[in-house]
Amino acid sequence: MNVLDVENISVYYGDTRALWDISFSVESGRLVALLGANGAGKTTTLKSICGLLPVTTGQIQYEGQIISELPVHEVADCGITLVPEGRQLFPKMSVEENLIIGSYLRRAKEKREKNLKRVYELFPRLSERRNQLAETLSGGEQQMVAIARGLMQDPKLIMFDEPSLGLAPILVNEMFQVIQELHGLGLTIFLVEQNVHQTLKIADYCYVIENGRIVNQGTGKDLEADPKVREAYLGF
């Protein structure tokens, strides 16, 4: 069963067309990735799903409901959470305060204590630093807070926008391990990422976007074996 169906959507920034009739789907419980170079349209796609950018043509369905006409807060209330690029934490607030802000939705408030316990079990380091200001954390720790804050929304579909961006190589590996662990827990994941090599290893299915168009798709193994993908994204 597909949780998310993006059907022939086009999106504009003013008079500039950013997405050209793109279509893809995300099955329940699967880890699906959208791959592409910087400026290819990955973040625009995420913003369209969240309702942050209007869809000019086509439609987006979530669990059979058309959401492309809904305001942002109603999309979030459907169970869709975005972990944004650049983390976007509140630097002068503590780790725990940042996490609690993630449980602002009505249904998430009811599970706040349960979800807080869960994220501290997933990220013991955050439990140790729960009273520490977010701005004093390392980049990897801040990314953990961003992911944990997303989980505090009690999502059914969690979307990641470049979670490994700006992290040291050893932390990049750790970040992908976290995403794999969440996937192993049964969470449906839509991953936008420039690190193609790592993503192909963990994703159930991948789409490749170039200049606002979906140009390729397949399993990680299929795309890793594709000469065009290897040359364009893997460097061999």
Q: Is 111 exposed, middle or buried (0-12, 13-18, 19+ CB in 10 A)?
A: middle
Structure tokens at 47: 């913003």
The full set of domain ranges for the chain reads 1-79+156-166+185-236, 86-155
So what's the pLDDT on residue 236? 54
Does position 2 have pLDDT exceeding 60, yes or no?
yes
Of 32, 50, 23, the C-alpha closest to 213 is 23
Assess contact for 105 and 76: CB atoms under 8 A: yes
Residues 29-88: pLDDT tens digits?
Answer: 999 999 988 889 999 999 999 999 999 999 999 999 999 999 999 999 999 999 988 778
Does position 229 have pLDDT exceeding 90, yes or no?
no
Residues 174-221: pLDDT tens digits?
Answer: 889 999 999 999 999 999 988 898 999 999 999 999 999 999 999 999
What CATH fold (topology level) applies to the domain 1-79+156-166+185-236?
A: Rossmann fold (3.40.50)
Of 93, 51, 92, 85, the C-alpha closest to 68 is 51
Structure tokens at 217: 């798709």
Number of Cβ within 10 Å of residue 152's Cβ equals: 25
| Position 235 confidence tier, pLDDT thresholds 50, 70, 90 | low
HEC profile for the chain?
Answer: CEEEEEEEEEEEECCEEEEEEEEEEEECCCEEEEECCCCCCHHHHHHHHHCCCCCCEEEEEECCEECCCCCHHHHHHCCEEEECCCCCCCCCCEHHHHHHHCCCCHHHHCCHHHHHHHHHHHCHHHHHCCCCEHHHCCHHHHHHHHHHHHHCCCCCEEEEECCCCCCCHHHHHHHHHHHHHHHHCCCEEEEEECCHHHHHHHCCEEEEEECCEEEEEECHHHHHCCHHHHHHHHCC
Q: What global pTM score does this model have?
A: 0.92
Residues 95-144: pLDDT tens digits?
Answer: 999 999 999 888 788 899 999 999 999 999 999 999 999 999 988 899 99
Q: How far is 19 from 17, CA to CA, in rounded Å?
A: 6
Assess contact for 40 and 19: CB atoms under 8 A: no
